[in-house]
Amino acid sequence: MNSAGKADYTGTAIALHWIAGALIVGNLAFGLYMVDLPLSPAKLKYYSWHKWAGVTIFLVSAARLLWRLTHPVPPLPASMPSWQRAAANASHHLLYLLFFAAPLTGWLFSSAAGFQTVYFGVLPIPDLLDKNKELADVLKLAHRFVNYSLAALVIVHVAAALKHHVVDGDSVLARMIPFLKPRT
């Protein structure tokens, strides 16, 4: 509860939100950068880093989901129209789905391509599939689709939060940025 008696996100929820957000945006940008590089030892190293970030995103997302399942979400402002509440709920469910689908499709793609992930170069992650070039090609497309979808939804998420702060002047954004005050 904040000083006004309203429910807020916990510090843990806020930290997990921003850590996951930074990792996801960073790994999306890094993936776009590295994918078109010519094959080289550096590109292979970048793929390892990208996969390590993906495993970390999966783990942070799991922690975030567990936290959310055990800690109630603060209610949205009463002034928010019901269609926006429904859209917020649906978009958050879809974000969580994509948080897991992105690293899982990458893991499946890597497995089918015959490249095992070794987390931080020390912990081998078991392959989920046998090597299969045709399946790897399909999973590569699935991984791209999921990540482009995730990027689009993140943009919508950020735009909605900014709209709530700048246009509506409500507390939606301030709930995730504790030092930010609602405009109204």
Residue 178: the pLDDT is 80
What confidence category does residue 159 fall into, taking pLDDT thresholds of 50, 70 and 90? very high
pTM recorded for the entire structure: 0.89
Mean of pLDDT values over 25-29: 97
Report the interhelical angle of 82-113 vs 11-35 (nearest 10°): 50
CA distance 13 to 71: 9
Strands (E), 70-152: 117-119, 123-125
- Across 8-17, 86-95, 169-178, least confident range: 169-178
Domains and CATH numbers, the chain: 11-168 (1.20.950)
- Predicted pLDDT at 121: 93
Give the pLDDT score at 83.
96
72 vs 70: CA distance, rounded Å: 7
